[in-house]
Amino acid sequence: MSHPAAVRTFADEVKAIPGGEHLELCYSCGTCVSKCMIQQKVEPDYNPRRLLRMVMMDMKEEAFESPTTWMCSECDLCYQACPQEIHISQVIAAVKQLAVDAGYTSPLTPVQVDEALCSGCGICSMVCPYQAPSLFEKVVDGEIDRFAQVDSNKCMGCGTCVGACPLGAISREGVSNSEIQSQIPSPDQTIPDIITFVCDWSLREGADVELLESYPADQVNVVHIPCTGRIDPQHALMALDSGVKGVLVCGCKPGECHFKRGNHVAKCKLGLLDTMFKQIQSPHKEIRFVQIGTQERGRIRHEIDEILTAVSPAKEAK
């Protein structure tokens, strides 16, 4: 009798990478899929459960081409909810690593460094949640100089580096300073009571997003940013300068940031701005940072109503 020799399957390859081990325990219960925001918000074909299944069924090419492999931002919302305690983002990262090793590249648009502006300070590499930017040296005009470069397979496009770069040297279409500024009304336009900067992930698709859009334009102006990490203090200042009375920045609850820790970076920047305002005793204007969890249906309404009341003339008169 001859026995078949052991075959190294795709699943074996994934399981050999730390984090991939528990892959086969998956019940295919779908908890991860519905916990994850990506399918509902941006990509109908995004499905971590199905990616795990593809690995188990040895569907290597399909897995490497699946949007799930490339779009997982390692937020780990699903990991907390998986009844089999599978570290899904690590399994996906293992698949992505194998895909990159096999020569596949990320379909996402990464940020790009403008070397003419880059000072090589390295701030982008410090704030990036994915270690996508790094510094490299090259000789320019006979001198050794340092510049940032971005690993396009690692960049998730959160824009945190864009918001942090002091020289505007790193950017990408969709998150550039000019595009965000164009959403802020200039002094010659109708000035709303408040401007809210809202990240793409914190509000529930459907009810909460609709609710935000339902305020009249002269009351609430909405500026969309990929992540609160992208917020640049100059945007808040520009907004206040245009004449609005309040700025509301809305991001994910601690521990729920879609881009791992963009919300921490935002909290830090906005906190500093608030302190500076207090120091120069500027006429009172509201800058608020709220962090809304996936479970907090309807909370955005309260937050907006509260800041609207806070900045309303009745209140000022008192």
Partner 1 sequence: MVDAARQPKIDVRTYTEVESVEGFVGNFKVTLREKAKHVLADRCNGCGDCARVCPIEVPNYYEMNLAPRKAVYIPMSQSVPLVYTVDLDACIHCYKCVEACGPLKAIDFSQEDKYVQEDIGAIVVATGFGHFDPSVMEEYGYGRFPNVITSMEMERLNNSAGLTAGNLIRPSDRKNPQKLAFINCVGSRDKRYNPGCSNFCCMYSIKNAVLLKQMYPNVDITIYYMDIRTPSKGYEEFYDRAREMGIHFVQGRPSLITEDEETHNLFVHSEDISLGRVIEKEYDMVMLNQAAVPQPDQNHMSSVLNVVQSPGGWFMEYHPKLRPIDSPTDGIFFAGACQGPKDIPASVAAGSAAASRASRILHSEKWEIEPIVAVVWPDRCSATTKGRACGLCVKACPYGAVVIDGDKAAEIITAKCHGCGGCVAECPEDAITQMHYTDAQILSQIRALLADKPEEKILAFRCQWCSYGGADLAGTSHFEYTANERGLRVMCSARMDSDFIYEAYRLGAGAVLYSGCHPQDCHYITGQKVGAKRADRLKKMFERMNMTDGRFRVEWISAAEGDKYARVLNEMQMTLDNMSPEELRDEIERLKPDMEKRLKRFPGVPGVSEAMDYSDTLVDAILKAKETS
| Cβ burial, residue 161 (10 Å; 0-12/13-18/19+) | buried
Stretches 6-14, 57-65, 82-90, 99-107: which one binds ligand SF4 (CB under 6 A)?
A: 82-90
E-strand spans in 141-266?
Answer: 143-150, 170-171, 194-199, 220-225, 246-252
DSSP summary character for residue 193: S
Q: How far is CA 2 from CA 5, 185, 312, in A?
A: 9, 76, 84
Nearer to partner 1, 22 or 146 (CB): 22
Stretches 97-105, 156-164, 195-203, 305-313: which one binds ligand SF4 (CB under 6 A)?
A: 156-164
Query: Rule CB under 8 A: is residue 62 a binding residue for partner 1?
Result: no
Query: Rule CB under 6 A: is residue 86 a binding residue for ligand SF4?
Result: yes
Query: Rule CB under 6 A: is residue 153 a binding residue for ligand SF4?
Result: no
Stretches 30-38, 124-132, 149-157, 163-171: which one binds partner 1 (CB under 8 A)?
A: 30-38
CB 165 within 8 A of CB 214: no
DSSP code string of 197-226: EEESSSSPTTHHHHHHHTS-TTTEEEEEES
Query: Rule CB under 8 A: is residue 83 a binding residue for partner 1?
Result: yes
Choose the contact partner of 34 out of ligand SF4, partner 1, none; CB within 5 to 8 A by kind. partner 1
Q: Name the nearest CA neighbour of 146 among 120, 122, 167, 170.
A: 120
Nearer to partner 1, 115 or 200 (CB): 200
Distance, in Å, from the CA atom of 209 to the CA atom of 298, rounded to the nearest integer, reads 10
Nearer to partner 1, 34 or 219 (CB): 34
Q: Closest approach of Cβ 167 to ligand SF4, in Å?
A: 14
Write b or e for each residue in 17-45: b if 16 or more Cβ atoms lie within 10 A of its Cβ, otherwise e. Answer: bebbbbbeebeeeebbbebbbbbeeeeee
Distance, in Å, from the CA atom of 193 to the CA atom of 197, rounded to the nearest integer, reads 14
**Position among 29, 102, 126, 140 found at the interface with partner 1 (CB under 8 A):** 29
Choose the contact partner of 103 out of partner 1, ligand SF4, none; CB within 5 to 8 A by kind. none
CB 78 within 8 A of CB 89: yes
Read off φ and ψ for residue 173, nearest 5 degrees: -60, 135
Please list every residue from 244 through 303 that binds partner 1, using CB under 8 A. Answer: 294-298
Q: Closest approach of Cβ 284 to ligand SF4, in Å?
A: 33
Query: Rule CB under 6 A: is residue 128 a binding residue for ligand SF4?
Result: yes
Query: Rule CB under 6 A: is residue 72 a binding residue for ligand SF4?
Result: yes
Q: Closest approach of Cβ 313 to partner 1, in Å?
A: 29
CB 129 within 8 A of CB 264: no
DSSP summary character for residue 4: P
Q: How many residues bind partner 1 (CB under 8 A)?
A: 27
Please list every residue from 12 through 41 that binds ligand SF4, using CB under 6 A. Answer: 26-32, 35-36, 38
* Interaction site with partner 1 (CB under 8 A): 27-35, 39-40, 44, 47, 49-50, 78, 81, 83-85, 204, 206, 294-298
